[in-house]
Amino acid sequence: MHKVAILSRDSAIYSALIQAAHLPYLQLVLVDNKIDREFDYAQVDILFGDPDLTAQIVPQCSQLQWLQSTWAGNAALFSLKKNNYQLCGVKDVFQQAMQEYVFAYLLYFSRNIAGFHQAQKNKKWAAPTYQSLAGKTIGIMGVGNIGQAVAKMAKQFSMNTRGYTNASSSSEYIDHYYNHSTQQAFAAELDFLVCLLPHSPATTGLIDQRFLSYLPAHCVVINAGRGTTIVDSALINALNNKKLQAAVLDVFAQEPLPPQHPYWQTDNLYVTQHTAAASLPEDIFPLFKENYLRHLQGEALQHVLDFDKGY
């Protein structure tokens, strides 16, 4: 019998889904949305939950074999010394949501929706300038399944696509690939930069003053990967000095974003409160179910993360 603990803000929903699935040899020993300081975590061999919560009790889970994360980002778990268990991430569920998020803003800026709204408020028939996405160049940093989905959508709009990656380089939707050694060529002449990189030592602070200086002044930066990738002061400086058209940020080094953070007051910066691609229980639970059945059969789990790489 496997003793499973659920520690998530959606713990009640996940518990109901587990019970409805009638998974064999499974005993729910904890279902909570906060840390229970009195619970004996040493009895748990499977954890299912949010990384920021589970990271607080993983060191106490001496019998832990496998942790199924409910989020794409797992920095809190990677920062722990304990790594003698399998950590499984969330993949293949966020593609459509990210496509919608990215292209909502690409169309917002290219079609100049704000300009049309202002013209309406001013009761002016003369249309403001606007452009098509066709022929524009989008640079995608991180070309995993989500990045490839964004590139696929870009091709539906007849855009030119560039991929920045040190791993995959075979997507049919990417016209040209670049890496760290060719980042200036990657950034040059981009109309849009979309960052979807995971958190790792290599990506921390990657988009700094020098990187931003490679981008043209009309470029729009969208970060829906990890907040640590961007150097905040460098981005604020670029926006204040009109070195960039705009920035759309969904993720931040510190979340929630503190009220005193200068991002709130920076012109042409859009904050979207980590909503680009939410983890919905109905999407995440099938990953747990599949991996649990694999675990019972002694088969390889899906989406196992690498503690050395950090993703």
Query: Mind listing the pLDDT tens digit for each residue in 2-38?
Result: 999 999 999 999 999 999 999 999 999 999 999 999 9
Task: Write down the pLDDT at residue 90.
Answer: 94
| pLDDT (average), residues 117-131 | 96
Mean pLDDT, rounded, for 225-242: 97
Which pLDDT score is estimated for 188? 97
3-state secondary structure of 30: strand
**Is the per-residue pLDDT at 187 higher than 80?**
yes
Domains of the chain: 2-91+279-297 (3.40.50.720), 95-271 (3.40.50.720)
> Residue 110's pLDDT band (boundaries 50, 70, 90)?
very high
> Token pair of 161, please?
């696509």
C-alpha span between 38 and 160 (Å, rounded): 56
Q: Reply yes or no on whether the pLDDT at 167 is more than 80.
A: no
Structural contact between residues 233 and 239, judged by C-beta atoms closer than 8 angstroms = no
pLDDT of 262 > 90? The answer is yes
Q: Is the pLDDT of residue 73 over 90?
A: no
Catalogue the long-range contacts made by 290-296 (C-beta closer than 8 Å, 24 or more residues apart): 291/66, 291/68, 291/88, 292/2, 292/23, 292/26, 292/46, 292/68, 293/23, 295/2, 295/46, 295/65, 295/66, 296/2, 296/24, 296/25
Give 50's pLDDT tier (boundaries 50, 70, 90). Answer: very high
- pLDDT interval class at 311 (50, 70, 90): confident
> What pLDDT is attached to residue 274?
95
- Region 161-187: mean pLDDT is 93
Mean pLDDT for the chain?
A: 96
pLDDT in tens, 204-221: 999 999 999 999 999 999
Q: Is the pLDDT of residue 168 over 80?
A: no
Question: pLDDT at residue 310 above 90?
Answer: no
pLDDT at residue number 169 = 77
Strands (E), the chain: 2-7, 26-32, 46-49, 66-69, 86-88, 137-141, 160-164, 176-178, 192-195, 220-223, 246-249, 269-271
CA dihedral 103, 106, 109, 112 (to 10 degrees): -60
Structure tokens at 147: 């990045």
**Per-residue pLDDT averaged across 52-66, rounded?**
97
- pLDDT tens digits, residue range 131-166? 999 999 999 999 999 999 999 999 999 999 999 998
Cβ count within 10 A of residue 222: 26
> Which phi and psi (to 5°) does residue 128 adopt?
-70, 170
